[in-house]
A and B are shown apart, each in its own frame.
Chain A
Amino acid sequence: MGAIQNKVAGPVTDELALVQAAKRGDDSAFEELVRRYDRNVFRIAQHITQNREDAEDVVQEAFLKAYGNLAQFQEQSKFYTWLVRIAVNEALMKLRRRKPERTVSLDEDIKTEDDSLPREIADWSPNPEQQYTQAELREILSKTIQGLPPGFRTVFVLRDVEGLSTEETAAALELSVPAVKSRLLRARLQLRERLSRYFQRREPGNGKNDGVRGEDVKNKDVASGDGNL
């Protein structure tokens, strides 16, 4: 006679059901939550810290804090939004430790009256990303987003990469909805401006940009973050 199988009442797919099971001490339910969101937390953390080891630490610390504080989690909000808030705070702490000379805050009102006004109006190639190899493209995107202030890139990542709504982003970052909207607009426009240097339509045969693709990636000063747009 075989051992009595634990009854598995079908996969628990609902987030709230998983959270409630985890609160009752079901570690496999918590592990499922880790599986569900670890990639997102890692991406967010690396976007904020710009450092792979820090991002790994943030993933561990964020889930550990979530686990230790599950009892305090109010189930009116989404677990994922709550987890993102913990992860963002952990990532910002890492950034502060790494760059103590600079104030790193989501609340800082970055005084850039016209930093987002478009200056580079040239159109892009039809499929600009195809001008580069995958590795080159990743380097361009990574360096470009590094040049944004942390408060801008965090909003951009949550809204446009992770797909959180404006309200969820505001809740996760403890910002007002207008503040999220304003930062998102400026982040999008600044990224657009910086990417234009790589992706603008090139006139065929003028030789101006021929054969300098790799050098372009290396030489463009996209990571300066000095507001020199």
Chain B
Amino acid sequence: MKCSEFLSELTSYLDGVLDEKTKAELENHLSWCHNCYVVCDTTKKTIEIYRDSQLYELPEDLRSRLRSAIMTKCQQQRRRGPQSM
């Protein structure tokens, strides 16, 4: 397996959706190709860092203000009748 082939399967490998045969080929490649090992490992870390980052959390006070505004507008809208998308 070439590095470019490894790369094209990287997303499926990280998502755990590869068949056993392809997965074994990828892992064999990883066992000797340091560059692909590093790319694979740091891509996995990239995903984990974003997933765990709590970036753009909605603060509770803003959250209740938004919810209350949404529900008020919903009720107004219902009185006016349906809207188009």
Task: Please list the residues of chain A having a beta carbon within 8 angstroms of any beta carbon in chain B.
Answer: 25, 27, 30-31, 34-35, 38-39, 42-43, 46-47, 55-56, 59-60, 63-65, 67-69, 71-72, 86, 117-118, 121-124, 128-129, 137-138, 141-142, 145, 156, 160-161, 163, 166, 181, 184-185, 188-189, 191-192, 195-196, 199
Contacts and interface: CB of A to CB of B under 8 A. Distances in A.
Given A56-B62, A188-B43, A31 B67 contact: yes
A46 B42 contact: no
Given A31-B71, A38-B63, A124 B45 contact: yes
Given A69-B82, A69-B83, A69-B85, A196 B77 contact: no
Describe B's contact surface by its main secondary structure.
helix
Describe A's contact surface by its main secondary structure.
helix
A160 B45 CA distance: 12
Given A42-B58, A161-B51, A27 B43 contact: no
B58 A138 contact: no
B69 interface: yes
A192 B39 CA distance: 8
Contacts of A34: 67, 70-71
B38 to A, nearest CB: 5
Nearest to A43: B56
B46 A195 contact: yes
Contacts of B15: 166
Contact of A191 (B8, B38, B50, B70): B50
B18 to A, nearest CB: 12
Give 10 closest A-B pairs by Cβ, nearest first: A68-B83, A46-B56, A185-B11, A42-B58, A192-B46, A67-B74, A192-B43, A43-B56, A63-B70, A118-B39
A195 B11 CA distance: 18
B43 A160 contact: no
Contacts of B83: 64-65, 68-69
B31 interface: no
Contact of B49 (A64, A121, A123, A129): A129
A42 B12 CA distance: 28
A161 B50 contact: yes
Contact of A39 (B7, B49, B50, B57): B57
